Structure 1
């Protein structure tokens, strides 16, 4: 395959930060106004666990420790593969940032109501009683079965 025909993919990390009362950390993205879990693109020289810690701190002000890989999600339209890790907080306070107009601890019901399916399912998978890594495809909004 010619070099200019190689598929382009990027890898992102998404933390499912579980807090008191099984609430989950969510942000309202400044760019879109949509509720999502924090996260972003994995830098070329960065370990995925380092990226999780960095992204949560940058986007929420919360320090976290990753516990477990809970899912791999691919946006089939954009070619983005997201690794989601269940995390717990170890410090800091949630606050608005350059990336987020709001940062909140939401219940799973609130997440299902306020997030598109492609993002809500990541948090649902992360809090499953006996999580095993899920592998799911989506189009940025809905799951593709």
Structure 2
């Protein structure tokens, strides 16, 4: 019998001068999410963030701080999310992303799956410590039902 194992994914929240967030539309399921993916066994966490972001957007970033840890309880995936700084390149679709776009925080909050929107909202919450959340793939569990509040143009 095989012992269950976790996999680790990495992603980054990168914003532009208008405080919009770079997001991708996945080719495999059409969902809008942060650029990221599974960390490879032989790479450091930071190198994995850089590689995944580049593979999905075509740009080079630098991870600058951990903003959250998220566990999908059904799949056993632990996601590490970082803030990132754009260093070089122009975002464009790649083999892994059908589309790449800059979204406002309001659009993230209203149009993205809550478990993925929270990763962005947590990262942008002023002065917040890294979030630690569990979910079932669609909804937060153990009392985590809402993402951290982030000031918007309406606040």
Same-fold status (TM-score > 0.5): yes
Q: Distance in 2 between matches of 1:18 and 1:138?
A: 25
Q: Structure 1 residue 113 and structure 2 residue 104: aligned?
A: no
| SS in structure 2 of the partner of residue 81 of structure 1 | strand
Greater than 4 Å deviation, 4+ residue runs: none
Instruction: Answer whether contact 1:19 1:88 (CA < 8 A) is retained.
Output: no
TM-score, normalization by structure 1: 0.94
Q: Could you tell me which residue of structure 2 aligns to residue 76 of structure 1?
A: 73
Match for residue 35 of structure 2 among 16, 38, 57: 38
| SS in structure 1 of the partner of residue 54 of structure 2 | helix
Structure 1: runs of 5+ lacking an equivalent:
none
Q: Kindly provide the CA deviation profile for residues 18-44 of structure 1, in whole angstroms up to 9, marking residues without a partner as x.
A: 222111110000111110001000000
Q: Kindly provide the CA deviation profile for residues 89-145 of structure 1, in whole angstroms up to 9, marking residues without a partner as x.
A: 011011011111110110111111221000000000001110311100011111112
TM-score, normalization by structure 2: 0.89
Q: Distance in 1 between matches of 2:110 and 2:43?
A: 34
Q: Could you tell me which residue of structure 1 aligns to residue 153 of structure 2?
A: none
Q: Distance in 2 between matches of 1:25 and 1:13?
A: 15
Structure 2: runs of 5+ lacking an equivalent:
144-155
Q: Could you tell me which residue of structure 2 aligns to residue 85 of structure 1?
A: 82
Q: Distance in 2 between matches of 1:132 and 1:120?
A: 17
Point out which structure has higher relative CO (alpha carbons under 8 A, 6+ apart). 1
Q: Could you tell me which residue of structure 2 aligns to residue 60 of structure 1?
A: 57
Q: Could you tell me which residue of structure 1 aligns to residue 9 of structure 2?
A: 12
Residues paired across the two proteins, number: 142
